[in-house]
C-alpha cells in the first residue's frame, strides 16, 4: 500500500513537472509507440521457452531557455513468458516500467562547449519482472532486456568537446548510482539486490562531411563497484573497454563496427571477493549496417559473443553466441513536425552450447525473434 502511494506520488510529480515544462518550453518532442515482440526456441515439446511482449513507450523532451533540455521516458508493457523450469507454464505481467527523467545542460567550460547530464531512475516499475522473465527470455548478451524495474538510481555525465582540425574531440566522465531493491530472487528474507555502481570514461572523434555525413571513432570504458545482496558483497564485474567506428550517411549506406572486451570479475572465494581464475565474459563484436532510400531504411545487425574463459564442464561456462537480424522501416511524414514510423524485424539468435540434447551433450539453443511496431513523433 505504501509502495503504491509512493508510485502514485512519483507519477503525479512527474506529470506536474511535465506540464510546468510544457508551458515554458521553447521547443520539444513527444514520442508514442507501440511495439510487439514474439520469440520461440528450438526446444522439443513439451519443453517450451518462448514469450511475447507488447510495449507502449512514451517519451517527452523539452528545450528550455539557457541551454537546458529536460527529458522523461518510460513504457507500459503487457507480456507473457513461457518456460519449462518446473513444468511448462506462462507468467503474465502488465505494468508500467521505471521512469527515467532528467536534464541536459549545455554551457561552456574551459572555453569549449560542454554538457552536464543528470538522469534519475524513478522506480515506477515492477521490480520482480526482470528476475521472473529470465528463464523464458533470450540471452541478454545478444538481445537487451526490454523492461526495467529496479531501485532508485542517479546517473551523471560531464562532457567537453574540443575542436580538432575540421572535426571535434569529445571527452567525458560519468557515474551511475544504483539503489537497492527487492528483485524477488527468493534467496534471502530481505532480498535486497544492489547492483554495483558504474564509472564511465569515454572519448570520441567526430568528423563531419558534406550532406550531413559523419565519421565517429569511439573509445570508452566502464568500471564497477561490487553488487551486494542483503548488504553482503556478492559479485563485481570486471572493467570493460569498448571501441567502435561509425560512418553515417542519412541518404545512403551507414554502418557501425565495434567490439567490447571484459577483464576478469571479482567473485566470492572463501567468503570474500577475489579475482576469478577465468574470465566470466567473453569478448564481443558487432556490425550494424543500414541503407536509406528516402524515408525507407533497411537495417541489419550482426553480433558475435565469444565463449567465456571457463571450460565446458564448469558451472560458470557461457558459450556466447551469434545474432543476425534485419529490420526494414518506413517513416511517413505528415508535416514538418510530425511523422509516423512503421518497422518490423526478424532476428535469428544462437546461444552456443546453452542446452543439452537427449544424450546429455551440450548443444546450441536457437531463438527466432519477430517484432513489428510503429512510433508517432510530434515536434512542437
Partner 1 sequence: MPNDGTSSLADLNEQFGDGLSVNGDNTFTDPGVEGSVKINVHANVAPGETVP
Q: How far is CA 379 from CA 62, 312, 336, in A?
A: 10, 52, 8
| Identity of the residue, 84 or 368, whose beta carbon is nearer to partner 1 in the bound complex | 84
- For position 195 contacting partner 1 by CB under 8 A, the verdict is yes
Pick between residue 27 and residue 134 the one whose CB is nearest to partner 1.
Answer: 134
- Binding range to partner 1, per CB under 8 A, among 15-23, 28-36, 37-45, 293-301: 37-45
Q: Which of residues 203-222 bind partner 1 (CB under 8 A)?
A: 204-206, 208-210, 214, 216, 218, 220, 222
Residues 71, 378: Cα–Cα separation, whole Å: 15
One symbol per residue from 355 to 374: x for binding partner 1 (CB under 8 A), - otherwise; what is it?
xxxx-x-xxxx---------
Residue 173 Cβ vs partner 1, minimum distance, rounded to whole Å: 9
268 binds partner 1 per the rule CB under 8 A: yes
306 binds partner 1 (CB under 8 A): no
Contact stretch for partner 1 (CB under 8 A) within 3-11, 30-38, 234-242, 335-343: 234-242
At closest approach, how far in Å is the CB of 154 from partner 1?
11
Phi, psi at 335, each rounded to 5°: -160, -165
List the interface residues with partner 1, window 62-121 (CB under 8 A): 83-85, 104, 106, 112-115, 117, 119
Residue 271 beta carbon to partner 1: minimum distance, rounded to whole angstroms: 14
Q: CA 171 to CA 117: how far, in whole Å?
A: 14
Sequence-separated contacts (24+) of 324-330 with Cβ below 8 Å: 324/300, 324/348, 325/300, 325/301, 325/369, 326/298, 326/299, 326/300, 326/301, 327/298, 327/299, 327/300, 327/301, 327/371, 328/296, 328/297, 328/298, 328/299, 329/296, 329/297, 329/299, 330/295, 330/296, 330/297
Residue 365, all three cell numbers: 539453443
Binders of partner 1 among residues 269 to 288 (CB under 8 A) are 280-281
Percentages helix, strand, coil for the chain, rounded to the nearest 5?
A: 10, 60, 30
Beta strands in 225-279 (DSSP E): 227-229, 232-236, 240-248, 253-262, 266-269, 272-275
> Of 36, 43, 291, 370, which one interacts with partner 1 (CB under 8 A)?
43
Among 159, 309, 320, 325, binds partner 1 (CB under 8 A): 159
Joined together, the cell numbers standing for residue 240 give: 570493460
Total residues in contact with partner 1, by rule CB under 8 A: 92
Distance CA 193, CA 196 (A): 9
Residue closer to partner 1 by CB (options 176, 343) is: 176
**Which residues in the 122-151 window bind partner 1 by CB under 8 A?**
130-131, 134-135, 137, 139-141, 144-145, 148, 150
Q: Does 5 bind partner 1 (CB under 8 A)?
A: no
Q: Cell numbers at residue 305, please?
A: 559473443
Q: In terms of CB distance, is 168 or 330 closer to partner 1?
A: 168
Amino acid at each position: 500500500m505504501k509502495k503504491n502511494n509512493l508510485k502514485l506520488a512519483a507519477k503525479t510529480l512527474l506529470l506536474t513537472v511535465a506540464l510546468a515544462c510544457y508551458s515554458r518550453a521553447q521547443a520539444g518532442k513527444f514520442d508514442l509507440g507501440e511495439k510487439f515482440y514474439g520469440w520461440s526456441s528450438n526446444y522439443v515439446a513439451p519443453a517450451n521457452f518462448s514469450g511475447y511482449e507488447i510495449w507502449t513507450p512514451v517519451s517527452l523532451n523539452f528545450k528550455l531557455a539557457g541551454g537546458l533540455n529536460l527529458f522523461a521516458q518510460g513504457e507500459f508493457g503487457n507480456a507473457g513468458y513461457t518456460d519449462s523450469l518446473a513444468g511448462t507454464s506462462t507468467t503474465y505481467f502488465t505494468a508500467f516500467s521505471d521512469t527515467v527523467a532528467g536534464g541536459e545542460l549545455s554551457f561552456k567550460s574551459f572555453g569549449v562547449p560542454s554538457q552536464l547530464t543528470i538522469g534519475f531512475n524513478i522506480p515506477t516499475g515492477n521490480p520482480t519482472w526482470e528476475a521472473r522473465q529470465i528463464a523464458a527470455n533470450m540471452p541478454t548478451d545478444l538481445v537487451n532486456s526490454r523492461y526495467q524495474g529496479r531501485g532508485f538510481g542517479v546517473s551523471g555525465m560531464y562532457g567537453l568537446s574540443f575542436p580538432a582540425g575540421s572535426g571535434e574531440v569529445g571527452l567525458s566522465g560519468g557515474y551511475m548510482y544504483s539503489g537497492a531493491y527487492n528483485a524477488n530472487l527468493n534467496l534471502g528474507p530481505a532480498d535486497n539486490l544492489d547492483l554495483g555502481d558504474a564509472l564511465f570514461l569515454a572519448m570520441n572523434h567526430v568528423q563531419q562531411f558534406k550532406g550531413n555525413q559523419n565519421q565517429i571513432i569511439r573509445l570508452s570504458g566502464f568500471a564497477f563497484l561490487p553488487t551486494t545482496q542483503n548488504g553482503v558483497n556478492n559479485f563485481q564485474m570486471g572493467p570493460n573497454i569498448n571501441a567502435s567506428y561509425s560512418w553515417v550517411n542519412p541518404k545512403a549506406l551507414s554502418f557501425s563496427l565495434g567490439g567490447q572486451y571484459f577483464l576478469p570479475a571479482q567473485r566470492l572465494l572463501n567468503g570474500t571477493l577475489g579475482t576469478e581464475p577465468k574470465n566470466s565474459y567473453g569478448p564481443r563484436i558487432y556490425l550494424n549496417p543500414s541503407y536509406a532510400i528516402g524515408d525507407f531504411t533497411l537495417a541489419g545487425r550482426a553480433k558475435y559473443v565469444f565463449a567465456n574463459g571457463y571450460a565446458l564442464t564448469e558451472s560458470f561456462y557461457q558459450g556466447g553466441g551469434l545474432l543476425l537480424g534485419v529490420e526494414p522501416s518506413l517513416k511517413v511524414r505528415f508535416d514538418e513536425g510530425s511523422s509516423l514510423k512503421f518497422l518490423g524485424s526478424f532476428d535469428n539468435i544462437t546461444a552456443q552450447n546453452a542446452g543439452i540434447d537427449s544424450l546429455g551433450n551440450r548443444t546450441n539453443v536457437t531463438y527466432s525473434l519477430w517484432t513489428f511496431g510503429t512510433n508517432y513523433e510530434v515536434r512542437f
